[in-house]
Chains A and B, each alone.
Chain A
Amino acid sequence: MTNSKPTDANQPRPLGLARRGYSGVIHRLAADEANSALSAIELESRLIELGFVEGARVKVLHEGIVGRDPIAVRIENVTIAVRRREAMAVIVV
Chain B
Amino acid sequence: MEAPLLHLALVGTPNSGKTSLFNALTGSRQKVANYPGVTVERKEGFFVTPLGRQVSVVDLPGTYSLRGRSPDEEITRDIVLGRSAGESVPDLVLCVADATNLRLTIRLVLELKRTGRPLMLVLNMFDIATRRGVTVDVARLSGMLGIPVVTSIAVRKGGTSDLLRQTDEIAMQAPPPSQQNLWQPLSVAELRATQREADRIIAATISLPARPDTWTARIDAVVLHPVAGLAILALVLFVMFQAVFAWAQPLMELLSSAFAALGQLVHDTLPAGLLQSFLQNGVISGVGSVIVFLPQIVIIFLFILLLEDFGYMARAAFLMDRIMGGAGLHGRAFIPLLSSFACAIPGIMATRVIDNRRDRLTTILIAPLMTCSARIPVYTLIISAFIPAEQVWGWVDLRGLVMFGLYAAGIASALGVSFLIKFFMWRDDAPAPFMLELPDYKLPRARSIAIGVYTRAKMFLQRAGTTIFSMMVLIWFLASFPAAPAGAEGSAINYSLAAMIGKALEPLFAPLGFNWQIVVALIPGMAAREVAVAALGTVYAIEGGKEAADQIGQVLATKWSLATALSLLAWYIFAPQCASTLAVIRRETGSWKWMAITFGYMFALAYAASLATYNIAVALGAG
| Interface size bracket, A side | 35 or more
The answer to whether B196 touches A53 (Cβ under 8 A) is yes
Chain B residues within 8 Å of A38, by CB: 433
Interface string of A74-93 (1 = CB under 8 A from B): 10111111110110000000
Is A13 part of the contact surface with B, judged by Cβ < 8 Å?
A: no
Query: Could you tell me the distance between the alpha carbons of A41 and B584 in the complex, rounded to whole angstroms?
Result: 35
* A46 with B437: CB separation less than 8 A: no
CA A45 to CA B193, docked complex, whole Å: 12
Contact-residue size bin, chain B (C-beta under 8 Å from the other chain): 35 or more
* Cα–Cα distance between A33 and B319 once the two chains are bound (Å): 26
Q: Does B174 contact A (CB under 8 A)?
A: no
Interface: B596 (CB within 8 A): no
Instruction: For chain B, residues 418 to 445, give those with C-beta under 8 angstroms from any C-beta of chain A.
Output: 429-440
Which residue of chain B has its CB nearest to the CB of A61? Answer: B220
Report the separation of the CA atoms of residues A29 and B437 in the bound assembly, to the nearest whole angstrom.
19
Point out the residue from A36, A51, A81 that lies within 8 Å of B438, measured CB to CB: A81
When distances are taken between beta carbons in the complex, the residues of chain A under 8 Å from B335 are: none
Which of B103, B229, B439 has most chain A Cβ within 10 Å? B103
Interface string of A10-50 (1 = CB under 8 A from B): 00000000000000000000000001111001111111111
- Shortest A52–chain B CB gap in Å is 9
Partner of B322, one of A36, A53, A67: A67
Do residues A41 and B188 form an inter-chain contact, with CB atoms below 8 A?
yes
Question: Given contacts A77-B101, A77-B208, is CB(A49)–CB(B107) below 8 Å?
Answer: yes
Question: Does B321 interact with chain A (Cβ within 8 Å)?
Answer: yes
Residues of B61-112 whose CB lies within 8 A of A: 64-65, 67, 69, 100-101, 103-104, 107
Contact of B314 with A by CB under 8 A: yes
Rounded to whole Å, the gap between the CB of B551 and the closest CB of chain A is 50
* Chain B: CB-nearest residue to A46: B435
Contact of B433 among A43, A63, A64, A78 (CB under 8 A): A43
B-side contacts of A1, CB under 8 Å: none
On whether A81 and B196 interact (CB within 8 A), knowing A64-B318, A65-B319, A65-B323, the answer reads no
Whether B434 contacts A70 by the Cβ 8 Å rule is yes
Whether A62 lies near B435 (C-beta < 8 A) is no
Q: Complex: how many Å from CA A41 to CA B69? A: 13
Q: Given that A45-B67, A62-B224, A65-B322 are known contacts, is A78 also in contact with B435, CB under 8 Å in the complex?
A: no
Q: Is the CB of B104 within 8 A of A50?
A: yes
Q: Which residues of A contact B217 (CB under 8 A)?
A: 61
- Give the complex CA separation of A67 and B326 in angstroms: 12
Residues on the B chain within 8 Å of A37, using CB? 429-433
| Nearest Cβ on chain A to B189's Cβ, whole angstroms | 10
* Complex contacts, B230 vs chain A, CB 8 Å: 65
CB-defined A-B contacts under 8 Å, sample of 30: A36-B430, A36-B433, A37-B431, A38-B433, A45-B67, A45-B188, A46-B433, A46-B435, A48-B191, A48-B195, A61-B217, A62-B224, A64-B319, A65-B229, A65-B322, A69-B321, A70-B318, A72-B220, A74-B212, A77-B101, A78-B104, A81-B321, A81-B434, A81-B437, A81-B438, A82-B435, A83-B434, A85-B431, A85-B433, A86-B434
Given A46-B435, A65-B226, 5 new contacts (CB under 8 A):
A50-B437, A51-B104, A81-B318, A85-B431, A86-B435
Residues of B within 8 A of A (CB): 64-65, 67, 69, 100-101, 103-104, 107, 186, 188, 191-192, 195-196, 199, 208, 212, 216-217, 220, 224, 226, 229-230, 314, 317-319, 321-323, 325-326, 331, 429-440
